[in-house]
A and B are shown apart, each in its own frame.
Chain A
Amino acid sequence: MRRLAPFVVLVVVVALFNGSLSGRFHLRVLTLAVVWALAGVAWNLMAKAGQISLGHSAFVGIGAYGFTILLRDGGTSPWVGMAVGMGVAAALALVIGLPTFRLKGFYFTLATISFPLIMELLVSHYGEPEFTVPFHPENEWKFMEFSNAHTYVWVGLGMLLVALVISELIDVTSFGFALRAIRDNEVLARAVGIRTVAWKSAAFMISAALSAAMAVLWVKAVLRVTVAEEVFGITVVIVMLSVAFVGGVGQTWGPVVGAAFLIPLAMFLDDSIGESVPGAQELVYAAALVLVALLIPRGILPAAERGCRRLAGLVDPEGRGRGWQVVQRLAAPPPRPSPLLSVPRKVPSRRIPSTDGAPVLEVEGIAKSFGANRVLSDVTFEVDAGRRVGIIGPNGAGKTTLFNIMTAHLRADAGRIRFKSVAIDAMRAPRRYELGISRTFQVPQGFHLMSPLDNVVVAAIGAAVTRPVHASMAMLDRVGLADKALGELSSLTVAETKNLELARAMVSEPELLLLDEPLAGLNETERVRFFQIVDDLVAPQTAIVVIEHSVRSLIRYVDSVVALDEGRIIAEGPPEDVVSDPAVIEAYLGSKWMKRA
């Protein structure tokens, strides 16, 4: 119901305005509000993954030029031209995005800037800087040549509704989970099997295609002339950014709110003082961007939700009244997993078939340096199925680096890793997770904008678990977090955070579990309890490797210990032997301590 309500409101509001407005100018404002809402929804798809594009005018330009050329030279219907433009735009999106999707930081944003600039220059110089769209009154619908200007609003509303449905569908399926996970914590997303490059590419392609579709409507309904400087111009991007950021970046309904607010404001201002103040429209967008950046960086919608909750909390602190319930329903919490996700799916297993007798993990001759600093040298060990191995060593010994190499967060300079006899050196992080290698992190990682349940659901989706929500809830129940499943991540205690990490790592039913300092920050009872939970969760054949500084707690739990110092293995064997090994004591306490004894 809550998902349907905004659609109804949108249709009713647009219908009311479309029915009552008659002046040319007012109708133009309404049409443009719909056009830019559509553009903003398209742009926002990419923002769901936290990616800011400054190059969407390339897709708008392609859409505009594509259909105009086809219409003029071949008499092709703009609808067909729209489809062609969408396809070309999607293909271009792949070309623009793919090379930067693997890079961290600003590269995607920077790369997007130059495409529209290149295209505008080329089109202006080698092509036609502008041409009028040919007039085809003979068939209104085929040629999108409506004599009644209200019809453009209806068509625009239809296209906007389609875009919104696409955006909503993305939100509630694994697609949306993947995008939100990427925005929240990309490293963690890859560690739980989310193929970040593929998802980002898909989002960018859909976003580009919708932008090209919007261009056809914009040119047909408003511009009437395709001008390279306009359709490829930076202003297109500015308006998209403004409506999306003002309404709510990454939020499906954000651009609709943003456009409803900004477009009329900018146009009425321009209409009244535009003669004397030529830049009035742009100043509205610019001021909106600056104010949003400083005051409500996530936009009006999230800010309004927070405000409503706070207000309702003041009036009705117990949360029992009807008012509170209405607020709760209106102020949407982060999207719940949809029923779609709970439908059992047939997913082919990506696991390696069982190989009897062979070790689960074989690490051979691993070496790694950071600059001149050698962190690991010739590290070799094996872990058999069902065994628990502890890795100890003083600070800086290279333990976490070794984990990062095993899970493909770092590449080794030399050496080989085999998992169930298969070489996995060339595999990236998501693939290794799919094979059944799970990990926890030294500093617990999480998707902070998601609930604890959704944190686990992402990992379940990454592992192609057949019923992700069901499996995640069951896992949370087993680690004692069932009643906190829908709360805030930041409200968890340390022990609960550790348990959540464990649930996330275990939901894929891994065959190799890597725990990086799981006991840090826990007190004595919590430590004992933690390993009890691990034992309760893991299957008997699962191999476990634990890095731990609390050697005392570790040696009671593991079958054998590998001791590292300065990146080399200095001792290996049963726990009692390793901790009484002089080399190990020296590594921890220093050579002088040994001489004293």
Chain B
Amino acid sequence: MIEFLQFLVPGILIGGVYALLASGLGLIFGVMRVVNFAQADFMMLAMYLSWALFAGGIGLDPFLAMPGVFVVFLLLGMAVHWLFIRFVIGRRENHDAQVILTIGLGLIFQNLILIRYSSEPRVVAPSYANDGDFIGDIFISRARLYAFLLSMLVAALLFLFLNRTATGRAIRAASENWEAATYMGIDIDRTNRIAFGVGVALTAVGGSALVTFQSITPFVGLRFVVVMFAAVVLGGLGSVGGAFVGGVLIGIIQSVSQVWTSAAVKNVWVFGLFLLILYVRPNGLFGKVQRAI
């Protein structure tokens, strides 16, 4: 039982960060029905930014850098939407173009970083990186605890943004029914641009919450891309709240699997669960299963 708890608690902590990563992907899919395969590479870019701020002289703590990371990636996301994404939104024939465009963008990010920083793994090790506290027999890493708490804070801010601001409500409206949103006088293109920026920024902030215990390489996104997709599908494609719950569940499963199998294959459980959900409940744990007959 203790062993189980020893894995469960870190699972919840990392799950909080996954929830943040996934809510960004979920927001983008919900609003513009684009599966953004570059999402994990935005996360990777944010991790490098955090690393550069920490290691590059000024020694800025990654958790303190998060507001700055958010703003930078909000703007970057909006720029990428304006430069690329807006041309492939809408019509059904654009589905293929969306897939290859976002895959291509992700690859470009990876390889530009590879060229600039090589493939050597980078680490961000603030003074508290290895600290932690025992609660009973359970060790709680301080870095992970901070990451969890900050993720929850950002999630709360996201909730307020979506529910209490005119732009947030416009995003929710466009995500539910873009035609009706048009009749409300909502500028769909602007809403999409903001949603893409916010979605990218959420994942970016999640990435900078990871850096104190996750080494950084240009290809680190690949490990997280299916984690994010699994969380989003688990919670129901297009639901931000669902993606959030899905992220926590994925974190728990990934961590608790180590009770039974080696840590090296913990992601096999995540990918397997992802497939199971796709096959058995394609609309997510909370959605109604719809099948075309």
Contacts and interface: CB of A to CB of B under 8 A. Distances in A.
Interface stretch (B12-20, B113-121, B140-148, B167-175): B113-121
Given A52-B96, A279-B114, A289-B107, A121 B264 contact: yes
Nearest to A291: B104
Contact of A408 (B99, B104, B293): B293
A283 interface: yes
Interface in B204-254: 218, 222, 225-226, 229-230, 233, 237
Contact of B111 (A122, A282, A408, A410): A282
B6 interface: no
Nearest to A408: B293
Interface stretch (A112-120, A348-356, A480-488, A527-535): A112-120
A113 B229 contact: yes
A103 B293 CA distance: 9
A interface, size bucket = 35 or more
Given A113-B226, A278-B115, A106 B35 contact: yes
A297 B84 contact: no
A99 B293 contact: no
B275 interface: yes
A241 B102 CA distance: 13
Contact of A110 (B88, B229, B272): B229
B94 interface: yes
A285 B107 contact: yes
B278 to A, nearest CB: 5
A245 interface: yes
B104 A293 contact: yes
Contact of B103 (A186, A187, A238, A278): A238
Residue from B97, B118, B272, B279 with most neighbouring chain A CB atoms (10 Å): B97
Interface in B150-203: none
Contacts of B282: 100, 103, 107
Residue from B96, B105, B222, B226 with most neighbouring chain A CB atoms (10 Å): B96
A279 B272 contact: no
A388 interface: no
B35 A110 contact: yes
B114 A292 contact: no
Contacts of A467: none
A290 interface: yes
B104 A289 contact: yes
A128 B132 CA distance: 37
A283 B272 CA distance: 31
B271 A238 contact: no
A279 B111 contact: yes
Contacts of A322: none
B107 A292 contact: no
Interface in B113-141: 114-115, 118-119
B267 A278 contact: no
Given A113-B226, A289-B103, A100 B264 contact: no
A111 B282 CA distance: 10
A409 interface: yes
B111 A286 contact: yes
Nearest to B114: A279
Contacts of B95: 52, 106
B101 interface: yes
B1 interface: no
Interface in A213-243: 234, 238, 241
Contacts of A100: 278-279, 282
B205 to A, nearest CB: 24
B101 A103 contact: no
A469 interface: no
A125 B105 contact: no
B87 interface: yes
A129 B55 CA distance: 34
A187 B92 CA distance: 14
Contacts of B237: 106
Interface string A251-288: 00000000000000000000000000111101101111
Contacts of A118: 268, 271-272
Contacts of B2: none
B96 A297 contact: yes
B35 A283 contact: no
B292 A104 contact: yes
Contacts of B99: 52, 54, 109
A411 interface: yes
16 contacts: A54-B99, A104-B292, A106-B237, A110-B233, A111-B278, A114-B226, A114-B271, A114-B272, A278-B115, A279-B110, A282-B110, A285-B107, A289-B103, A290-B108, A293-B97, A409-B293
Given A109-B35, A117-B226, A297-B96, 6 more contacts: A100-B282, A110-B35, A118-B272, A293-B88, A408-B293, A409-B293
Interface of B: 35, 84, 87-88, 93-101, 103-108, 110-112, 114-115, 118-119, 218, 222, 225-226, 229-230, 233, 237, 262, 264-265, 267-268, 271-272, 274-275, 278-279, 282, 291-293
